[in-house]
Amino acid sequence: MGEERVIGQPRPIRDAASKVTGRKAYVGDMSLPGMLVGKLLLSDRPHARVLSVDTSEARTMPGVHAVVTWEDCPDVRYNSAQRMIDAQVPLTERVLAREVRHVGDRVAAVAAETEEQAMAALRAIRVTYEDLPAVLSIDEALAPGAEPVHGTSNVVGVLEKGDKDIEAHLAACPHVVSGSFSTPPIHQGAIETHCAMANWSEEGKLTVITPCQNSFAYRVILAQIFGLPLNRVRVVVPAIGGGFGGKLEMTIEPVAALLSRKARRPVKMVLSRKETIMATRVRHGSQSRVRMGVDDQGKLLAIDVDCETNTGAYAGSAFNVAGALLENPFQLYKAPYVHVRVRPVYTNTVPGGAMRGYGGPEVYFATECMVDRAARAIGADPVEFRRENIIAPDSLNEEGVPRGNPRPADCLERASELIRYEEERRAKKPGDDGGRFAWGIGVAVGSHGNNCHGVHRDVASPMIKMNEDGSAVLYTGSHEMGNDTLGTQAAIVSEVTGVPLDQVGIVASDTDTVLWHIGDYASRGTFVICAGVKRAAELMACELRREAAPLLGCDSSEVVLRDGRAMRGDGVPEVTLREVMIHCQAVTGRELCVHVTYEAPRGVCSYGAHAALVRVDRQTGEVRVERYVAVHDVGHVLNPLMLEGQLEGGIAMGLGYALSEQVSFGPDGRPVQQTLGRCGMPRATDMPLDLRTDFVCADGGEPDGPWGAKALGESPVVPVAPCIANAVSDAIGVDIHDLPMDPARVLEAMGRGEES
């Protein structure tokens, strides 16, 4: 480390100038000749059979070019979260529904010349429904005799991992604590609403332009729906105005395609915020029961987690999120006996999909709150208790595989230091004596995986070509979501090949021009994709050295590439990469283009420890975060500026989850929160004034990561809610079980405390 010229330097995001000038073209800003406006008719009831859809009037209205209902759809059921062409996943969804399963389900759609015409036509569509019983919560869905949302049972499946004898192990523990927890669905809240453009060529090729996180998966599903070979479906992602998992699963794209096919015109659909909340995806809600067994010396012996996730109306991510959730309780503590069971459950609510953290924030809220209670059961300090039980570097995971270089213990130490844990724990605060304000301090630790090793294909396939002037182009499947994944990849190419950073171009996230890409989720960008790009860049560097060697009169192994030049080891003589490439083209007679298919050699985790100092208003129940600390283990830091920003953003998202965000459903199945203002997302004034972040890196970072780097990605969201909950519990002396900890709930908890 330390030799790098580009890697490790603070760099703003690559397309920052386009974004600050407003010139970045997002999908909603684009248009095509003859383009029509597409609008959706959504179900206003949670569960009903569609008996008839009368479109006769709508079809004849001015400007209307196409009206589509289930009768226009190919008779294909699909899974909106399918990733691979050969994946075995439950197929429960249709482009337009014959049986609506949630308020916001797609019933019909219109394409017209103007938005007003499309809206008018929607109002003229008459739908006759036959209402069916609806289940609006996990408990209702699991009740005996509940109406099944699909098939015969509302349990999509049962995922289980770990020690089957957990009951016996718990029974043998001197101390056992238990608790029940719930977390709500929330809106992913990207500021860009869902949108898509679709166009069929006269030759029968479908092009979809959409801000999604998984272009190749969308291609697979669109090809299935419309019965096309993959060469006749192109998915292009020019820009994404925020993803956070909400744009990982396909939602409106096949509707736009259906409209375009019928109208024989390009169709653009831009959802309103209300539609994005009701008709796309939310974070899975969850409920869980956790038990932990501890010995007298403070050793955590057993963890049992039994959890249900609310997967809503369609299977989508049901198994993916539950599967990721399942792994988390094994990642942080040395407890010898761990058992987890997760059951995704159908309900007649907005489908649960992916959201940053992907099961982690849900389960860590429960387990990290329980760790505090386990510490309390034996009279131990929560930090000390974690210190004793947390995993160490060079240890083995539950399957006996080396964990690599996990540093949650270092994160915890640094976070305790930054929050001044020992001092603050002892300090008297105004109000401590029963006045209006109660003060509390809390910590929580979390983890998040970096890849899909052992679950399914876990590869990156970047390609690099050289231009004849010595500049280069990187072809990558990555979707830029704002974390500078593309800029980091370009920096890696520059670092390794010596092509100056401003001479590395990028072509990205276009299924016709880049090699197959697995999609951007699971925080894979650094540990897998960047490692793959580094490998490809090393291959290109070999080619450049080979071509430069005869010009320099030396062996290729002696050639150094730097600053757009190739030189002999001692710096003399040197040639420009332009000269190398002209020689390559004119004399050697070859073009330089390399690609790799890089597979991650193992699964790794990133870690973070958070600490918070909170003030609870006993009169109003309001929680104010006075100081917040987050320290993360991401191995070697590739770009400190963007990592800090990503961490701060994750904290904000976690604070919303902890304190204010939810999507709840009324008795009629409608989401109560239908505007951004009601979703509870934090604003600038909600952020703690005293916010301290740091990164730890020891012993070269993470083995197999590029320069020892691994993800930040999703991990910052994970520890926030339990950290705040533990601080609030510390303040008011009552345990917290449910999110969000809004004022009403905190008051309710305090009331509970007084009763007990």
Partner 1 sequence: MEPSGMIPVTLTVNGRDYPLLVPRTERLLWTLRERLGLTGAKCGCGTNDCGACRVIVDGVARNSCVLLTRNMEGKSIETIEGLSDGLTLHPIQQAFIDAGAVQCGFCTPGMIMSAKALLDSNPDPTEEEVREAIKPNLCRCTGYVKIVEAVLLAARRMREADGENSAHAVAATGGVSA
Under the rule (CB under 8 A), what is the footprint of partner 1? 10, 12-13, 15-26, 28-29, 116, 120, 188-193, 239-244, 270, 272-273, 481-484, 641-642, 644-653, 675-677, 681-685, 687, 689, 691
Dihedral sign, Cα of residue 372, residue 377, residue 383, residue 387? negative
Minimum distance from CB of 272 to partner 1 (Å)? 6
Minimum distance from CB of 275 to partner 1 (Å)? 11
DSSP bridge partners of 129: 50
Minimum distance from CB of 187 to partner 1 (Å)? 10
Question: Between residues 78 and 628, which has the closer beta carbon with respect to partner 1?
Answer: 628
Question: Between residues 124 and 736, which has the closer beta carbon with respect to partner 1?
Answer: 124
Whole-angstrom distance, CA of residue 590 vs CA of residue 593: 9
Minimum distance from CB of 117 to partner 1 (Å)? 9
Minimum distance from CB of 659 to partner 1 (Å)? 14
Question: Between residues 240 and 444, which has the closer beta carbon with respect to partner 1?
Answer: 240
Is the distance from CB of 718 to CB of 361 less than 8 angstroms?
A: yes
Minimum distance from CB of 74 to partner 1 (Å)? 32
In this structure, the dihedral spanned by the alpha carbons of residues 570, 575, 578 and 582, taken in order and rounded to 10 degrees, is -130
Phi-psi region of 750 (alpha: psi -120 to 50; beta: other; left: phi over 0): alpha
H or E element in which residue 82 lies: none
Minimum distance from CB of 630 to partner 1 (Å)? 10
Minimum distance from CB of 290 to partner 1 (Å)? 29
Q: In whole angstroms, how large is the CA radius of gyration of the chain?
A: 27
Is the distance from CB of 98 to CB of 127 less than 8 angstroms?
A: no
Question: Between residues 410 and 484, which has the closer beta carbon with respect to partner 1?
Answer: 484
Tell me if residue 61 falls in helix, strand or coil.
coil
Q: How far apart are the first and last CA of the chain?
A: 57
- Structure tokens given for 75: 């008779």
Whole-angstrom distance, CA of residue 348 vs CA of residue 138: 10
Minimum distance from CB of 69 to partner 1 (Å)? 23
Question: Between residues 147 and 622, which has the closer beta carbon with respect to partner 1?
Answer: 622
Whole-angstrom distance, CA of residue 239 vs CA of residue 261: 24
DSSP bridge partners of 628: 612, 691
The arrangement of strands across the sheet holding 504-508 comes to: 504-508, 472-476, 463-466, 593-595
Minimum distance from CB of 307 to partner 1 (Å)? 26
Is the distance from CB of 281 to CB of 214 less than 8 angstroms?
A: no
Question: Between residues 594 and 653, which has the closer beta carbon with respect to partner 1?
Answer: 653
Question: Between residues 212 and 544, which has the closer beta carbon with respect to partner 1?
Answer: 212
Beta-strand relationship, 690-696 and 623-633: parallel
In 623-718, alpha helices (H): 640-659, 676-679
Question: Between residues 29 and 469, which has the closer beta carbon with respect to partner 1?
Answer: 29
DSSP string, 119-156: HHHHHT-EEEEEE-----SHHHHHSTTPPPSSSS-SB-
Question: Between residues 83 and 356, which has the closer beta carbon with respect to partner 1?
Answer: 356
Minimum distance from CB of 191 to partner 1 (Å)? 4
Question: Between residues 273 and 578, which has the closer beta carbon with respect to partner 1?
Answer: 273
| Side-chain half-sphere exposure of 69, counting CA atoms within 13 A | 19
Is the distance from CB of 705 to CB of 636 less than 8 angstroms?
A: yes
Tell me if residue 16 falls in helix, strand or coil.
helix
Whole-angstrom distance, CA of residue 107 vs CA of residue 97: 5
Minimum distance from CB of 710 to partner 1 (Å)? 20
DSSP string, 533-600: HHHHHHHHHHHHHHHHHHHHTS-GGGEEEETTEEEETTS-SEEEHHHHHHHIIIII----EEE--EE-
Question: Between residues 189 and 603, which has the closer beta carbon with respect to partner 1?
Answer: 189
**CA nearest neighbour of 356 among 155, 525, 142:** 525
Question: Between residues 21 and 756, which has the closer beta carbon with respect to partner 1?
Answer: 21
Q: Which residues of 634-656 are buried (b: 16+ CB within 10 A; e: fewer)?
A: bbbbbbeebbbbbbbbbbbbbbb
Minimum distance from CB of 246 to partner 1 (Å)? 10
Question: Between residues 26 and 516, which has the closer beta carbon with respect to partner 1?
Answer: 26
Whole-angstrom distance, CA of residue 175 vs CA of residue 301: 10
| Side-chain half-sphere exposure of 417, counting CA atoms within 13 A | 10
Question: Between residues 484 and 543, which has the closer beta carbon with respect to partner 1?
Answer: 484
Question: Between residues 88 and 685, which has the closer beta carbon with respect to partner 1?
Answer: 685
- Which DSSP letter does residue 65 get? E
Dihedral sign, Cα of residue 370, residue 375, residue 377, residue 381? negative
Question: Between residues 304 and 480, which has the closer beta carbon with respect to partner 1?
Answer: 480
Dihedral sign, Cα of residue 24, residue 26, residue 28, residue 31? positive
Minimum distance from CB of 588 to partner 1 (Å)? 41
Minimum distance from CB of 684 to partner 1 (Å)? 4
Is the distance from CB of 444 to CB of 723 less than 8 angstroms?
A: yes
Residues contacting residue 404 through CB under 8 Å, at least 6 positions apart: 393, 602, 604, 702, 703, 704
Is the distance from CB of 6 to CB of 495 less than 8 angstroms?
A: yes
Minimum distance from CB of 182 to partner 1 (Å)? 24
Question: Between residues 672 and 689, which has the closer beta carbon with respect to partner 1?
Answer: 689
Minimum distance from CB of 745 to partner 1 (Å)? 23
Dihedral sign, Cα of residue 583, residue 585, residue 589, residue 590? positive
Minimum distance from CB of 702 to partner 1 (Å)? 23
**CA nearest neighbour of 62 among 126, 129, 118:** 118
Question: Between residues 181 and 244, which has the closer beta carbon with respect to partner 1?
Answer: 244
